[in-house]
Amino acid sequence: MTGGRALVVRESLANRWIDTGLIELERFTPFKFGNDDLRSMSFSKDAVVAPVNECPSPNTRTESLAFALALKASRAIDGASSFQDAIYLSPLSRLLPTYTTPSLADDALLLGSWLTGGIPISINSFSMLSKTLSWLPANGLKDVITAAGFDVAKLPSHGQNHPVAGKAIVSADGHDTDRNEKSGLFILPGRPDLEAFFREHVIAIIENSARYQALGIGFPAAIVLHGPPGCGKTFAVEQLIKYLGWPSFQIDASSVASPYIHETSRKVAKIFDLAAQAAPSVLVIDEMEAFLTERNTGSGQHQVEEVAEFLRRIPEAVTNKVLIIAMTNRLEMIDQAILRRGRFDHIIEVGPASEIEIEALLKAMLKNLPKDDDVDPAVLAKQLGGRPLSDVAFVVREAARVAARDGKDSIAQENLVSATAVTPARNQETQRRIGFN
């Protein structure tokens, strides 16, 4: 196989994997080399086929999840063996032990060492591992550890990096998510209608699965969120994923785009397969207008093939307990075959927030920040009504920045009012120049 990769092993080792159930006999091609009976397998050139301790460190969350799922599957089949000495086969999602390391070796250390590219840090040292993996956010690391079959809640250092009940949690945009942890309810500040939709059409079906299955509803249907940029689509999805606690995967143009025929479809299929292996899970399709636009007579082979791959995969994913949520700013561009019911049952518009919604969001964002007693979100909501939620988040951050610059220990109403005044809607904003006049 030109330009590909091959695994060649002695027949005795191959038979041990086969007898254990780690791999099927049909995967191998037998041949002789001198007096030796050997077995071989061939793979494409982009496959990872190497001893675990010689594999390159992962560059993306998807690569990390793929290894984690392979480790989980292999441990489930052969829990008595050590995988410290294993050969990682990414196409088969398997770790195949060579049986040269004592069976008491630590798989928690194996996963941490693989993620760091050889630094011996166990996942039990969650805080240290999280600081070392600067490219992988703490929530992403939690997903990888969970996908590998380890219980994140039981890790000794877990509480230093992840939310625990009773502690205030503030997202990067300043949104307070504390109520989710304390009450057990899904809360989406500033978006009561979308919050109610997720509760009814996703959370209720998941948490009362037996009752819904008795009536023929097995799993929540796929969802499209559409609306202008900055209106909270991504934040809403992130909050739902955090509430569910499931592994999440993402498809966007930057992660799957390729100039080569069949390559984009292959990448899309791989992510769908990984999500199915980790099910129940969430698969987010971001900026879907970038690769799921309307097909026409002038469409290239790339586009037709990509849309066809999604048409086939979406219903299959829902059957496999993968919750699909797509987001777009340009719904009118999406191929109608993708949007029909049976693929995406729900198409939800997420537009600019109302005055009441913005007031609720401001209260949530300011809840855990030091502020003066006279701070009144209702006054600000009147000025910010109809604006993107990202503008609201910016106003709070700007007010906090100005307060800190002026040496204050809390945010004053005047800070918020002045921040609102210097934050016009982008379509009204005139270009400002930095430099000498």
pLDDT at 192: 83
pLDDT at 299: 52
Residue 399 lies in a domain: yes
Residue 422 has pLDDT above 90, yes or no: no
Is 103 found in the same domain as 249?
no
The rounded distance, in Å, linking the Cα atoms of 397 and 174 is 8
pLDDT at 257: 60
Is 50 found in the same domain as 100?
yes
Q: Label residue 341 exposed, middle or buried (CB < 10 Å: 0-12, 13-18, 19+).
A: exposed
Is 362 found in the same domain as 340?
no
Residue 163 has pLDDT above 60, yes or no: no
* Arithmetic mean of pLDDT, 363-367: 83
DSSP characters over 148-162:
TT--GGGSTTGGGTS
Q: Label residue 266 exposed, middle or buried (CB < 10 Å: 0-12, 13-18, 19+).
A: middle
pLDDT band at 437 (very low <50, low <70, confident <90, very high): very low
pLDDT at 436: 35
State how far Cα 137 lies from the chain centre.
Answer: 11
Least confident of 49-53, 146-150, 384-388: 384-388
Least confident of 63-72, 112-121, 341-350: 112-121
Is 232 found in the same domain as 318?
yes
pLDDT at 161: 35
Per the structure, the complete domain to which residue 383 belongs is given by 355-428
* Arithmetic mean of pLDDT, 340-360: 84
pLDDT at 156: 59
The rounded distance, in Å, linking the Cα atoms of 68 and 132 is 18
Task: Give tens-digit pLDDT for 180-200.
Answer: 444 467 888 778 889 899 999
pLDDT at 433: 40
State the pairing for strand pair 87-89/94-96: antiparallel
* Arithmetic mean of pLDDT, 151-163: 53
Is 317 found in the same domain as 257?
yes
Residue 159 has pLDDT above 50, yes or no: no
Total structural domains within the chain:
3
Residue 128 lies in a domain: yes
pLDDT band at 361 (very low <50, low <70, confident <90, very high): confident
Residue 173 has pLDDT above 50, yes or no: no
Residue 305 lies in a domain: yes
Q: For residue 125, what are the contacts with CB-CB under 8 A and spacing of at least 6?
A: 112, 156, 157
* Torsion, CA 384, CA 389, CA 392, CA 394, rounded to 10: -140
Is 364 found in the same domain as 331?
no
Amino acid identity of residue 94, one-letter, is: R
The rounded distance, in Å, linking the Cα atoms of 434 and 437 is 9
The rounded distance, in Å, linking the Cα atoms of 405 and 399 is 10
pLDDT at 426: 57
Task: Give tens-digit pLDDT for 31-65.
Answer: 989 888 999 999 887 788 999 888 877 888 888 99
Q: The domain that contains 377 carries what CATH number?
A: 1.10.8.60
Least confident of 37-51, 156-170, 298-312, 327-341: 156-170
Of the residues 344, 379, 402, the one at which a domain ends: 344
Of the residues 319, 344, 369, the one at which a domain ends: 344
Residue 185 lies in a domain: no
Residue 428 has pLDDT above 50, yes or no: no
Residue 294 lies in a domain: yes
pLDDT at 430: 40
Residue 177 lies in a domain: no
Mean pLDDT of the chain: 80
Is 103 found in the same domain as 223?
no
Task: Give tens-digit pLDDT for 199-222.
Answer: 999 999 998 888 888 888 889 999
Is 369 found in the same domain as 313?
no
* Arithmetic mean of pLDDT, 96-111: 79
Least confident of 165-179, 231-245, 379-393, 411-425: 165-179
The rounded distance, in Å, linking the Cα atoms of 402 and 355 is 24
Of the residues 160, 181, 208, the one at which a domain ends: 160
Q: For residue 362, what are the contacts with CB-CB under 8 A and spacing of at least 6?
A: 377, 380, 381, 392, 396
Q: For residue 411, what are its two tokens?
A: 């945010």
Contact 105, 84 (CB under 8 A): yes
% of the chain exceeding 70 in pLDDT: 84
- Residues 61-71, buried b or exposed e (16+ Cβ, 10 A)? bbbbbbbbbbb
